[in-house]
Amino acid sequence: MSVIDALKKSVLQGFSSEITVVDIILSLVIAFAAALFILLIYRLTMRGVSRSRTFEITLLLVTPVSAMIVLTITSNLALSLGMVGALSIIRFRTAIKDASDTAFMFWAVAAGITAGAHFYIITVIGCLFIGLLAFSSSKISANASRPYLLVVRANSEKAIDYTARLLSENNIKKRLSSLVNTGEYIEVIYEIALPGAHHKLVSALSNLPDVLNVSLVDCRN
């Protein structure tokens, strides 16, 4: 047997034309179960208010669709080459608002690929491990300090000094971002980090003498 014949045989052995209905149903069922688990973790870890229902439906569909594509590719060499050529011309231009959405999309695709390739143990263990990691990271980040912009407008410099002193006394990290004196009022903007109790800080600053108004803006907005 020549080298070329050996290579052809090894390549063709990697493709199985005998895929039963049971294999197809099992792969799609496991892929759909993985998609439901991914969607559950996404809803538990998503903190923003900009959660898109269409993106949730997409997560639910991407995993079984990926499994179906992999089932087709692994069954026939000619179909796999044609599928690669067809997918290479597809362009997705939908903007993803949150960086974590990209990770969930890759997770859904990876789960579909492993399920379609009949690596069910990798699908189950991988989803459980990544889900635990995502949930733990969400809990840790929820207790961490978040960046805010503190805007204080007052009609005296003494009120601005009181503001800086109050932040220092409460061990709030601050960085002066802007200071404006129009003659009628003085406006100061601080970049601060707060873990919680936002309303208490705003109330304490509003009760200072000569303070006109106080605004607290989330930097993520």
pLDDT at 80: 53
Angle, helices 21-45 vs 99-116, to 10°: value is: 160
Tokens of 79: 């179909």
pLDDT at 97: 67
pLDDT at 53: 82
Q: Contact at 8 Å (CB) between 157 and 185?
A: no
pTM of the model: 0.66
- Is CATH 3.30.70.260 the right assignment for the domain spanning 146-218? yes
d(CA 207, CA 188): 17
Report the candidate in 43, 84, 46, 77 with the shortest Cα–Cα distance to residue 60: 43
- CATH 3.30.70.260 residue ranges for the chain: 146-218
pLDDT at 3: 47
- Segment 159-168 shows an average pLDDT of 84
Inform me whether the pLDDT recorded for 86 exceeds 60. no
Inform me whether the pLDDT recorded for 131 exceeds 70. yes
pLDDT band at 210 (very low <50, low <70, confident <90, very high): confident
Average pLDDT for the chain: 78
Between 197 and 175, the higher pLDDT residue: 175
pLDDT, tens digit, 9 for 90 and up, residues 188-198: 888 888 776 57
Give the burial string for 133-152 (b: 16+ CB within 10 Å, else e): ebeeeeeeeeeeeeebbbbb
Sequence-distant (6+) residues with CB within 8 A of 41 are 104, 131, 134, 135
Inform me whether the pLDDT recorded for 217 exceeds 90. no
